[in-house]
Amino acid sequence: MCALTREVKPVADLIRFAVSPDDEVVPDTDARAEGRGVWITLGYRQVAEAQKKKAFARSLKSEVKVPEDLAGLTRRRLEERYLSALSLARKAGQLVTGATKVKAAIEGGEISALLTATDAAEDGRNKLLGSLKGYTKAAEEAGLNPAETPHFELLDSGQMGLALGIENVIHAALTKGGAAQAAVKRAERLARYIAN
């Protein structure tokens, strides 16, 4: 149940906050921390509102310390988890970088998500999105039922490059596989958090 709205929601639509040993509320992005916790609807605005309305202390029925920018801290934690998942996908060989390799992966029907840096040039972004639409249309015309491929623009080129150990990553694609799927799930959570 969301401590702010009092609505019962699936766990995928919520984010958990745990209480640290020194009575501070911290994001528990994987919902694995032991002890007392509070669930809030997954969204930047909802977390900021919960902090403003003292939903954490009310829900826990005790005084707790809340970081000054809990919503921003939560976003950074979700970004860290996403970056970590991207790094694991790369190590597993389930991530390609560079416009040429990404385009080839799209045309081969090998990708599970398209990743573009937030500071990418408009023409490069449009070319790869055009390739993705073209592949999807060709697959549909061939009688196939291709899965919808998500497109994420969540990090700038420096952040992506740092996570992948490559300088300035502008275009990347997650291919098929377990590590790539885990990264897609992390990207979806981060995207939803930012959008709400």
What is the spatial distance between Cα 66 and Cα 63, in angstroms, rounded to a whole number?
A: 10
Q: Are 94 and 177 in contact (CB under 8 A)?
A: yes
> Would the pTM of this model clear 0.75, i.e. be above it?
yes
pLDDT level of residue 188 (50, 70, 90 thresholds): very high
Of 164, 195, 170, 168, whose CA–CA distance to 78 is shortest?
195
What pLDDT is stored for residue 157 in this prediction? 93
Domains annotated on the chain, with CATH: 11-68 (3.30.1230.10), 77-195 (3.30.1330.30)
What pLDDT is stored for residue 109 in this prediction? 86
pLDDT digits (tens, 9 = 90+) for 108-152: 888 999 999 999 999 999 999 999 998 888 888 888 877 789 999
Of 139, 167, 166, 171, whose CA–CA distance to 153 is shortest?
171
Which DSSP symbol is given to 155? Answer: S
pLDDT digits (tens, 9 = 90+) for 168-187: 899 999 999 999 999 999 99
- Tell whether the model's pLDDT for residue 63 goes beyond 90: no
The DSSP bridge pattern shows strands 111-116 and 151-152 to be parallel
Give the torsion sign (CA, 54, 60, 63, 68). negative
The CB density around residue 50, as the number of other CB atoms within 10 Å, is 27
Mean per-residue pLDDT, 31-46: 92
What pLDDT is stored for residue 163 in this prediction? 83
Mean per-residue pLDDT, 37-47: 95
Phi and psi based region of residue 75 (left: phi greater than 0; alpha: psi -120 to 50; beta: remaining): alpha
**DSSP H or E stretch at residue 138:** helix 122-141
Instruction: State the maximum Cα–Cα separation within the chain, in Å, rounded to a whole number.
Output: 61
Residue 171 corresponds to which tokens in the numbers above? 């275009």
What pLDDT is stored for residue 80 in this prediction? 94
What pLDDT is stored for residue 2 in this prediction? 93
